[in-house]
Amino acid sequence: MNILDRYHAMDYGPAPEARNEADAWLAARDFGKALFIGGEWKAASGGKTFDTSEPSSGKLLAKVSDATAADIDAAVAAAAKALPKWSASSGYARAKVLYAIGRAMQRHQRLFAVLETIDNGKPIRESRDIDVPLAIRHFIHHAGWAQALDRDFPGHEGVGVVGQIIPWNFPLLMLAWKIAPALAAGCTVVLKPAEFTPLTSILFAEICERAGVPKGVVNIVQGGPEAGASIVNHPGIHKIAFTGSSEVGKIIRKATAGSGKKLSLELGGKSAFIVFEDADLDSAVEGLVDGIWFNQGQVCCAGSRLLVQEGIADALIAKVKARMSRLRVGSPLDKNTDIGPLVDLTQLDRVKGLVAEGARQGAVCWQPDAALPSTGYYHLPTLATGVSPANILAQEEVFGPVLATMTFRNTEEAIELANNTRYGLAASVWSENVNLALHVAPQLKAGVVWVNGTNMFDAACGFGGYRESGFGREGGREGMFEYLAAKLPLGPVIKPATISAQPVEQSDGDAIDRTAKLFIGGKQVRPDGNYSLAVATAKGKLAGEVGLGSRKDIRDAVSAARACKAWPEATAYNRCQVLYYLAENLSGRAGEFSARLVQLTGVSAKAARDEVEQSIERLFLYAGLADKFEGRVHQPPARAVTLALHEPVGVVGIVAPDTSPLLGLISLVAPALAMGNTVVAVPSERYPLLATDLYQVIEYSDVPAGAINIVTGRTAELAGVLAKHDDVDGLWVFADADTCAKAEAESIGNLKRVWSGNGRGLDWASDEAAGDAFLRRAVEVKNVWVPYGD
């Protein structure tokens, strides 16, 4: 046999990673005392344990303490006790602790990697080269944020005690994503890992002991659904951070409604992997390997939908099949393994069931001719072709090594197919034409877009989704805001509206009767139900009547807002000019609005003039910021830049307060408009004539039809309709506590972003009730990764 024959005959031999150190660690621990609370190791108060097993063999690894509600109470108490001292410590002091954690993890990173692979089933190459180094990077990166907190986040403070619940697909990395920014912000933590994968969190708790983390600052409680529910519902927790399924995310959103807890959700995905005809196909195929078969496809942002341009579809599919035939399925501790086992038998059965249903619905499912190990929860990589957009494999998150393929003809169709999902976490765009790639990226409804790459992450760059993929960001500057609270000036408690149904005394005078209509799609229209609402003056006389808006009127207003493309597609400079013009025209009628304020609210003439002037000033402020509240360019440690683009949330519903009825309305509408959102506003129920008087000002201020829509009526009823409407992308509610809570609970249909005052108003006249804190709520941050170089 000559050298060439030997070369072609070569095959991979076994390259097992040694596990003796990990086995010794397992043997030396009492997992019956695996709850890390207040710096001490404790058994579950109920004495219960759960099993964690090795996915590659099904063998038992440990019986781990299963926390009860009483254990969660103890953990929250420990976190609350540690909070004052930790939050009051200097940024430098917190930075030193974070850095010490990172350095200690570096010293034990091989043990972390092997434990992760044993417990989760992911190939050791991924644990060793991706998960553990990136987890370390998060702690060292956030040490810098801790020290820079006062400089970079003025007027903010840590939210308090944080409850964190993480999944089993990236146990250590998700822990780092959650704990590092929380500690940097001065928060204390109660974290619950997934039952399938508790081991690296236990090792991490040992690291916290060695790194000098003060007792009670980090509490790690192992457990199942009871422990998770106790964290979510605990009144002593000020923020919930959850990564997991969209179904559970909706349950948490509903459970926390009205609690005042800050909430961030990083949920499921059905990410598009778009390959244009000018792409480098070999690179795209390697990207697919990382995109869908990384961690056996158990990745929330997995590129599970391959969208390929028709002209290259056959050639690309042939390359994909050839590459799939060479993927090595086997022991995750073998350094040559590409695909390890799924995490558990239940997950394997779920993936098999979805593949079978996809085939029943018309997909052609192909797998390479390869043998599976005799033990463990293995599934062959699967390619589904002939997939219709409605097929279950194109719509549901499989969370396994299954790739659904569709074709497109042109750019517009590619974008439409990519956005044809209820999710919005990530996407990949492959093209050698950077102009095309950067034309497509902003049009994709996804929080992260990779150009000619996939599954790129860094602690400096935000990660998170739109739609049912959740809200909030993890990592970078955006991620720090999730653990900070702006010191907004709270106003009085808002009482439920109590407008009497009794007739209002007629006013004196001989003015021609006028009933104000609704303002929808740039026109004044009658309410669908043809009912009116009487508006009284401060003296109890009839000031006028307004339309009593209904569910149908809200639907019409949302449709008009959704159809308005001119406003979100306008340049920031153009929006700036229109808002300046709106302020200019309001200024021209300042006397009328001042008189109306006096008439309706009974304030003094001076107070009324002040409110009108402040409203004009606020319009000026947001006009000026429209082209200045910009994104950033992150520089991760890779040959890439990440463009953190600010995008409008979309259609924003606004429920305005009775207090400072003109200023409050404008303080909410103006920042939403400045960032390119379209608005459906429900003005003050008690003083709606101030909003209806704005119709003419809007009409002659060059505001595009549909950019601002105003529906007068009952606050509680209309807020509920906006909350349930799945074409509303964001909702801001300043109303009584019950209305706010119901709006949050009823928003789960599309997991819209809800900002409520939790039954409290703001001091709308204060400088703090304006500016960046409002603009941040009016944007989504999309991180677009653009590689450079050869």
**Going by C-beta distance under 8 Å and a sequence separation of 6 or more, which residues neighbour residue 222?**
34, 35, 50, 64, 65, 66, 67, 192, 193, 195, 198, 201, 202
Cα–Cα distance, 470 to 507 (Å, whole number) = 51
Which residues are part of the catalytic machinery? 266, 300
Measure Cα distances from 128 to 116, 117, 333, 731 in Å.
9, 9, 11, 43
Closest to 175 (Cα-Cα) out of 205, 145, 144: 205
Cα–Cα distance, 181 to 479 (Å, whole number) = 7
What is the dihedral sign for C-alpha 204, 209, 214, 215?
Answer: positive
SS3 state of residue 270 = coil
Assigned token pair, 370: 């390869």
Say if CB 775 and CB 624 are below 8 A apart.
no
What is the dihedral sign for C-alpha 234, 238, 243, 244?
Answer: positive
Q: What is the DSSP letter of 33?
A: G
The rounded radius of gyration (Å) of the Cα atoms in the chain is 28
Taking each continuous run of H as one helix and of E as one strand, the counts in the chain are 30, 34
Amino acid identity, residue 288?
L
Residues found in the chain: 790
Helices 590-601 and 605-625: crossing angle, nearest 10°? 130
Say if CB 54 and CB 345 are below 8 A apart.
no
Q: Where does residue 544 fall: left (phi above 0), alpha (psi -120 to 50 degrees), or beta otherwise?
A: left
Closest to 667 (Cα-Cα) out of 764, 579, 577, 578: 764
**Going by C-beta distance under 8 Å and a sequence separation of 6 or more, which residues neighbour residue 102?**
136, 137, 139, 140, 143
Cα–Cα distance, 619 to 635 (Å, whole number) = 35
CA angle 725, 468, 247 (to 5 degrees): 105
Long-range CB contacts (< 8 A, 24+ apart) of 20-24? 21/110, 21/111, 21/114, 22/111, 22/114, 22/115, 22/118
Assigned token pair, 237: 């927790």
Cα–Cα distance, 787 to 211 (Å, whole number) = 36
CA angle 602, 606, 609 (to 5 degrees): 90
Say if CB 39 and CB 206 are below 8 A apart.
no
Assigned token pair, 89: 């410590």
Amino acid identity, residue 350?
R
Instruction: Please give the helix or strand (H or E) that residue 272 lies within, else none.
Output: strand 272-275
Write down the H helix ranges in 419-485.
434-440, 476-481
**Residue 509 burial (10 A CB sphere; 0-12, 13-18, 19+):** exposed
Say if CB 82 and CB 216 are below 8 A apart.
yes
Say if CB 674 and CB 580 are below 8 A apart.
no
